Chain A
Amino acid sequence: MAAFTLQIVTPDRLIYEGEAERLIVRGMTGDLCVLAHHIDYATALVPGEASVTTAEGERHAACSGGMLSVNDNHVRLMATTFEWEDEIDLARAQRAQEAAEEQLKQMSADDQNYALVEAKLKRALARIRTKG
């Protein structure tokens, strides 16, 4: 399959650099898939499952925040957090989910921290779905 170059970075490290055949992430308007020779494209990311297909096979990950940019067959994924399936701490994600749900119940929708806690919940859910 035709390939493109992919860089995945988070603020504290470079996670992946090399060739890839397919990348799926969740953008602002929904899940999207990048194949080789994709049109030049950019969007912001939201928490969700991601998947990277290379010649060795497909790997799943939980990804949140940041930006995706496609430029002349170079794909750059700048994520706030990016964890491969085998790095996810399921118990911790479940605890985070419960804590966030509990907090949301006691909040009104116009609380200024509402979006914050909601984002936490989404991140936790993305991790749990990726692992499950």
Chain B
Amino acid sequence: MAGSSMKAIKLRIKSVESTMQITRAMQLVATSKLRRSKERMETSKPYADISREAIQAAVLACTDTSVPYVTARPVRRRCYIVIAGERGLAGGYNANIFKALAADAGETPYVVLPIGRKAIDKYQRMGVELLNTEHGHVEGLSVSACFKLVRQLTEGYLAEQFDELVLVYTNFVSMMSQEVRVERLLPVEKPDAPEADKRIVQTLYDPTPEETLMKAMPDYLAGRLYSAACDAFASEVAARRNAMDSATKNAGEMIDGLRLRYNRARQGAITQEITEIVAGAEA
């Protein structure tokens, strides 16, 4: 009786140990990937930030309301760009993204441009119309791939296949915290200009703010998309590292508990044997 429970505990310990080996290996891989992905994220920031400012200034300067990138129209259909992970085992990383999208979408019908294997699988299963399913690999999303995607998106937007373009991705705040962001890319919202910024009004646009916007918008969007993908990948790796770190810790605690039980069972078995021998000798 005691022997069989000892054997069972030993097996559990073995299985938890091998799980721990896997989680620890994944943690190490994530840690080593983290440094490079953080660097890539940092280098993609300046373009996205600077061009956002320039585009917003141009939007403020626009007086003509016929620029489709600026003028809001009734939203019959949205397009979501969803950047999720390539794999699971990253805590709530993927689930949080899908939740945020569902909350934002409400009742409005939508199409999805999924980036990352998990996003493709999820929306394929849901039966949502997908614009493109080529980009399962977030880490490998190149600048030129972003330009290609944006061309497809702006064409769709201008042809009124959808009336709003929304980006859903995870922003890297710090190693410990990553937050899902839902950002409206198109139409570009007119930023508030509190004291009607004189500089912006006096800026000379060549030839006009409207034409400049029409021409520069795809480049800006591609930069934003690339930067978001870099952020999302760094977030995914950080989330996985954290998830695997706590999984490894939990496995360690579990093994400690099981060892204690194993030793107790072993002790019990020995005591019982001695009692049996002594009893046998006395008889």
Contact = CB atoms under 8 A, between A and B. Distances in A.
Contacts of A11: 44, 47-48, 143, 146, 222-223, 226-227
A29 interface: yes
A38 to B, nearest CB: 10
A32 B204 CA distance: 13
B46 A42 contact: no
Contact of B58 (A42, A76, A116): A42
B211 A28 contact: yes
A15 to B, nearest CB: 9
Interface in B181-220: 199, 202-207, 209, 211-212, 215-216, 219-220
Contacts of B43: 12-14
Contacts of B44: 11-13
Contacts of B199: 40, 71-72
Contacts of B58: 42
A9 interface: yes
A28 B206 contact: yes
B147 A43 contact: no
A66 B246 CA distance: 44
Nearest to A30: B206
Interface stretch (B49-57, B117-125, B163-171): B49-57
A41 B164 CA distance: 29
A5 interface: no
Interface in B50-69: 50-51, 54-55, 57-58
- Report the interface size class on chain A: 20 to 34
Chain A interface, >50% SS class: strand
Contacts of B55: 67
Contacts of A39: 204
Contact of A27 (B46, B203, B206, B222): B206
Interface in A49-107: 65-67, 69, 71-72, 76, 78, 80
Given A27-B206, A40-B204, A69-B57, A12 B226 contact: yes
Contacts of A65: 219
B230 to A, nearest CB: 9
A94 to B, nearest CB: 19
Contact of B57 (A7, A10, A42): A42
Contact of A42 (B40, B47, B203): B203
A67 B206 contact: no
A36 interface: no
A35 interface: no
B204 A7 contact: no
B206 A43 contact: yes
Interface string A13-38: 11000000000000111001000000
A67 B226 contact: no
9 contacts: A7-B46, A11-B44, A11-B146, A12-B43, A42-B58, A44-B211, A44-B215, A45-B216, A78-B220
